[in-house]
Structure 1
Amino acid sequence: MEENTVDHRLPERLFATDRFPRHRLNIYSRPNILAFVRHVLRYSPAFGKIRESSFRKLFDLPTRQIPVSCKLIDNLLSRQLLCNQEYTLWSVFGKDPLRFSLEEFGTISGLNCGVFPEGYEAPDHNRKGSNKQKVAHKDPLWQKIIGKYNNITIAELAAELENDKQMDEWRRIRLALIIIVDKVLIASQQIHRRTLRYVHMLEDVMLSLNSPRSVNLSCTPYAA
């Protein structure tokens, strides 16, 4: 069977075989920052806590040897099948269906991909007043973890984490987690910046380290 021939045994494709998404890929994740975090926090109690959490398997990935293949990701997304399965991507590789779901993501990353805690509400970005990022610098927890500035980047936080030898462990582990989440797991900007919602999750850091809340699949693979 030719590659572009429709196989009627499979579900309908999201895109026609000769059509492709027009938007650029949103591939802003930088897994190599994990090696930086490991180096900066080596032998520290903060890194010990991270290694005992659901984030531990991330540091077993050979991140410097696994570059992101945008062409592969684009092909997987372009060849998607329309399937009624939540948190599951079915694609066509050659003539065979290929699955990548939350289960595979959890196996690779080691993150807790179970059900959310009772009472947890997913953020509604369309709700009026839901975007408080512009006034994040006024938030008490933000000021305690990030500082008094709203436009500080992840790169600047990483430099502070590396160079401030007097930083206490309470703040060190929280900055490290912000860097991991906003630059590796849920990177949504070319210039990585911290997100107020994720800062709020760090109020109880042990809960954040092991909760399914650390996995958020709301980011789109294509930039708008």
Structure 2
Amino acid sequence: MAELELPSRLFADREEPAGDRVNMYFKLNTIKAVLKALTPEEIDTIRPCFGKLLDVYSKPVFSGKLAHFLLTRQLNVVKRHEIWVVFAGKPVRFSLREFGLVTGLNCQPLPALDRALTKCPPGVTPYWFTLFGGEEYFTGEMLLGKLRRAKALTSEVRVKYACLLLVDGFLCRRSFHMKIPKEHVEMIRDLDVFLKYPWGRYSFDMTMQCIKSRSLNQLAQVTVAIQGFIHALVLVLVEAVPSVLSAVGEITDPESGDEDVFPVISLKLDKVWDLDKDNKYDGWNFVCVISFRY
């Protein structure tokens, strides 16, 4: 591959800040909780919407530190809806296309929502009370707690709790204590409508807007918080550089410390850094590494 003439980097080559990690508001064991709570038939119900996402938990790519490493190796790109990071001397694009490829989510344009789908009709009990009773404040952690006692729930409620958790407690999370939006609860009154909504586009837009809003000073900090699903950037690197998968460590679950099923498999990052230093690396997957235009 011919040498590419690239725009400048946000930080000079080999002078990038050595940060500790990206603070991601979601946890991968959210997927584990959903897989454990639902029956095979219930999983089949949500698989057309979330199928590829449900397989993410067993992939050996969990690393907030790697996400930080990639964000500090961005190129100066003016496009609002994509970033490019340099790895092993070559640019890797992260845009809506790549996000959709690695998550399998619906990334079609966001439709203008019919208010009848997100607002309770006059004279009808708000669906919030059907799902959550008199609770005024319901978070992802509270949904997790409910799903861990899944046998006490009806099948319909289990599935709807799982879907809300995957969207608002995982893909589109803005803070650790984010309240589940009442509009989403009203929308899930009709599960088919909820499952057909382009949550991939919704999550990507949130993630990209947050990345683009981070200043150099913020990226240079030991940690930087990113809303949305920044883990997709790590998944894109794995697709672009398959050899990253050779850097797997032992089976671990860094989020909970238990030895439950669906363990997270961590990466040995020193091996990833060695791959990055090898500018002669030629094992690229060109689905994700394409001609640079900015």
User: What TM-score does the superposition give when structure 1 sets the normalisation length?
Assistant: 0.72
Q: 2:141 aligns with which of 155, 174, 178?
A: 155
Alpha-carbon displacement from aligned partner over 1:1-24 (angstroms, at most 9, x marks no partner): xxxxxx992123334554659997
Shift of 1:59: 1.9
**Pairwise mapping of residues 2-21 of structure 1 onto structure 2 (< 5 A)?**
9-17=5-13, 18=15, 20=17
> SS of the residue aligned with 1:223?
strand
Aligned to 1:31: 28
Tell me whether 154-163 or 193-202 shows the greater mean CA deviation: 193-202
Alpha-carbon displacement from aligned partner over 1:86-136 (angstroms, at most 9, x marks no partner): 43221112322111221111111110112223x359xxxxxxxxxxxxxxx
Determine the C-alpha separation between the residues in 2 that align with 1:214 and 1:93.
25
1:116 and 2:116 aligned: no
Determine the C-alpha separation between the residues in 2 that align with 1:16 and 1:49.
48
Tell me whether 211-220 or 107-116 shows the greater mean CA deviation: 211-220
Determine the C-alpha separation between the residues in 1 that align with 2:20 and 2:182.
27
> How many residues were matched structurally?
197
> 1:57 is aligned with what amino acid?
K
- Of all paired residues, the percent bearing the same amino acid is 30
> 2:44 is aligned with what amino acid?
G
Determine the C-alpha separation between the residues in 2 that align with 1:116 and 1:192.
22
**Pairwise mapping of residues 201-216 of structure 1 onto structure 2 (< 5 A)?**
201-213=187-199, 215-216=201-202
Determine the C-alpha separation between the residues in 2 that align with 1:96 and 1:214.
27
Q: 1:87 to 1:201 in 2, by over 3 A?
A: farther
Aligned to 1:47: 43
What are the ranges of 5 or more consecutive residues in structure 1 without an aligned counterpart?
1-6, 122-138
Q: 1:77 to 1:197 in 2, by over 3 A?
A: farther
Determine the C-alpha separation between the residues in 2 that align with 1:140 and 1:150.
12
Q: 1:96 aligns with which of 90, 94, 100?
A: 90
> 1:116 is aligned with what amino acid?
L
1:144 and 2:130 aligned: yes
1:58 and 2:53 aligned: yes
> SS of the residue aligned with 1:158?
helix
Shift of 1:205: 2.0
- Normalized per residue, the structure richer in strand is 2
RMSD across aligned C-alpha pairs, in angstroms?
Answer: 3.2
User: What TM-score does the superposition give when structure 2 sets the normalisation length?
Assistant: 0.57
Contact 1:33 1:184 in 2 (8 A): yes
